[in-house]
Structure 1
Amino acid sequence: MARRALLVKTGWNVAEVIEVTQETRTARTLRLRLPGLAGHRAGQHVDVRLSAPDGYTAVRSYSVASASPGDELDLTVEELADGEVSPYLVRQVAVGDQLEVRGPVGGWFVWDPADPSPVQLIAGGSGVVPLMAMLRAHTAAAGSASPGGAAPFRLLYSVRGPDAVYYGAELDDLARLPLVDVTVVYTREAPAGSNEPPRRLDAATLVRSTLPAADNPAVFVCGATAFVETVADWLVQAGHSPARIKTERYGGTGTRP
């Protein structure tokens, strides 16, 4: 058992797909069971390796969306039009299939339930995935003695339109909790009946929708490179300490907020 636990952390292992959930037209969540895994930290990621019959392999990293303590974890994957791995994971993988995975790994862009600091989460598009793991971990901590369970949590989520929102129903439920606040900014299409027109996230909206710098929150920002860089600049201009801002970027240059 000791050797198996070590391999889960550092080597390639076989995980079984035990559940598939369609999040949007181009994204879905795969629940994997990884024998020997004893939980993971909110914000970590895993590598997924696909191998072709001719020996060609492709490896991609995906953030973990879940916060479960056992041997299961959720990966939410957005299909990329020119992707080598994501189209297979989004359109072809089925329950019972097996995937080669390595991890979970990562120890910097993670939330620790022992930290009582208020937390501000800021996501652009699919960057909400690791932040969802933090929200779920916070909910679990709220029912325990962990100091982080009593910390205020806010999520600012910038997304193209209602059809592109991940975890929509669950986010609605989380927003009803006393310590959680969720603000969604729709950049291209607003929900039916909304009084707010679609708009890009700007500095004023960010300041209005996030915890003030005076609260000294731990801030986690995830999204495309341009989004992350712009948001981080706005946060510093608003008085947040750069040392309190942690960022994670996914591939491509993306677009600004």
Structure 2
Amino acid sequence: MSPAPAGGWTTGRVVTLDRIGDRLVRLRLDVADRVDHLPGQHYVLRLRAPDGYTAQRSYSVASEPADPLLELMVECLPGGEVSGHLHDVAEAGDVFELRGPIGGWFTWAGEVEAVCVVGGSGVVPVISMLRHARTHGLLDRLRVVAVGRTLAELPYADELLAAGAFVALTRENLGDRVAAPPYVEEVVPLVARAERAYVCGSVGFASFATRLLGEAGVRADVIRVEQFGASG
């Protein structure tokens, strides 16, 4: 398997910026000298103040490699210097320092059948995977379990449902499904034939999802985990 692509520091100009509810902001950027990424990779975005002070944060890529723009979906975290600026201050036309793509462990380009269990903003790298799968006719090789509190709070909820993802909401019913985390019996049919599993979400969610996959019959050595916390 060839190494994952990697890029150095460059700049990205915000082409569009959409604030979604009170916690999410979607940015689409035109990246200078962009290196094509693999679905699942991420970028570091760095802010620089006039006095030279910098703050940076890593964000997973939502766009597929074929997209001419780089798409990031950022959740505004309490006290988050970077996410707060992006959500409250940034606007189209702004230019940010970027480094990426980064990472080779949490990537999928269709080489194996896979299952993903993702929660909250942890859905973002899997959106890149789903978009890549749709473009290349590989949707039958990728199955997704997405967990959110409510449909309005789950990033890309409509796109996930349209792609056939199993969506479990914990604070409101969805159709005939009563609000609850996913049950083992709901996941078992989705892990059949999966050669690899991906888990992305908060530390607590990652622990739950890893345990859920194990109870559904997935071997621990094929589970790849990416987790995050409020402090990054």
Return the alpha-carbon distance in structure 2 between the equivalents of residues 108 and 164 of structure 1.
28
Go from structure 1 to structure 2 and tell me whether the alpha carbon gap of 1:70 and 1:172 turns closer, same or farther (over 3 Å shift): closer
Partner of 2:167: 184
**Cα shift at 1:10:** 4.3
Residue 95 of structure 1 aligns with an amino acid whose one-letter code is A
Return the alpha-carbon distance in structure 2 between the equivalents of residues 65 and 49 of structure 1.
18
Structure 2 unmatched ranges of 5 or more: none
Residue 169 of structure 2 aligns with an amino acid whose one-letter code is Y
Answer yes or no: is the 8 Å Cα contact 1:37–1:71 preserved in 2: no
**Cα shift at 1:234:** 2.6
Matches within 5 A, 1:87-126: 87-113=84-110, 115=111, 117-126=112-121
| Greater C-alpha radius of gyration | 1
Partner of 2:25: 28
Show CA shifts across 1:46-80 (max 9, x none): 00111222322111000000113365210000001
Partner of 2:64: 67
Return the alpha-carbon distance in structure 2 between the equivalents of residues 186 and 150 of structure 1.
23
Matches within 5 A, 1:121-136: 121-136=116-131
Deviates more, 1:228-237 or 1:98-107: 228-237
**Cα shift at 1:199:** 1.5
Partner of 1:221: 199
Q: Over aligned residues, Cα RMSD in angstroms?
A: 2.1
Does the alignment pair 1:240 with 2:229? no
Answer yes or no: is the 8 Å Cα contact 1:222–1:228 preserved in 2: yes
Partner of 2:191: 211
**Cα shift at 1:97:** 0.7
2:8 to 8, 11, 14: 11
Return the alpha-carbon distance in structure 2 between the equivalents of residues 161 and 169 of structure 1.
12
Normalization by structure 1: what TM-score? 0.81
Answer yes or no: is the 8 Å Cα contact 2:75–2:121 preserved in 1: yes
Does the alignment pair 1:158 with 2:138? no
Answer yes or no: is the 8 Å Cα contact 1:119–1:151 preserved in 2: no
User: In structure 1, the residue corresponding to 2:11 is in which secondary structure?
Assistant: strand
Go from structure 1 to structure 2 and tell me whether the alpha carbon gap of 1:157 and 1:24 turns closer, same or farther (over 3 Å shift): farther
**Cα shift at 1:28:** 1.8
Partner of 1:84: 81
User: In structure 2, the residue corresponding to 1:85 is in which secondary structure?
Assistant: helix
1:138 to 133, 138, 147: 133
**Cα shift at 1:119:** 1.7
**Cα shift at 1:141:** 1.4
2:182 to 201, 217, 231: 201
Answer yes or no: is the 8 Å Cα contact 1:39–1:71 preserved in 2: no
Return the alpha-carbon distance in structure 2 between the equivalents of residues 223 and 157 of structure 1.
10
**Cα shift at 1:252:** 4.2
Normalization by structure 2: what TM-score? 0.89
User: In structure 2, the residue corresponding to 1:234 is in which secondary structure?
Assistant: helix
Return the alpha-carbon distance in structure 2 between the equivalents of residues 236 and 73 of structure 1.
34
Return the alpha-carbon distance in structure 2 between the equivalents of residues 65 and 249 of structure 1.
16
Answer yes or no: is the 8 Å Cα contact 1:185–1:201 preserved in 2: yes
Go from structure 1 to structure 2 and tell me whether the alpha carbon gap of 1:137 and 1:10 turns closer, same or farther (over 3 Å shift): closer
Return the alpha-carbon distance in structure 1 between the equivalents of residues 141 and 108 of structure 2.
13
Answer yes or no: is the 8 Å Cα contact 2:46–2:55 preserved in 1: yes
**Cα shift at 1:170:** 2.2
Residue 27 of structure 2 aligns with an amino acid whose one-letter code is L
2:51 to 50, 54, 60: 54
Return the alpha-carbon distance in structure 2 between the equivalents of residues 84 and 65 of structure 1.
21
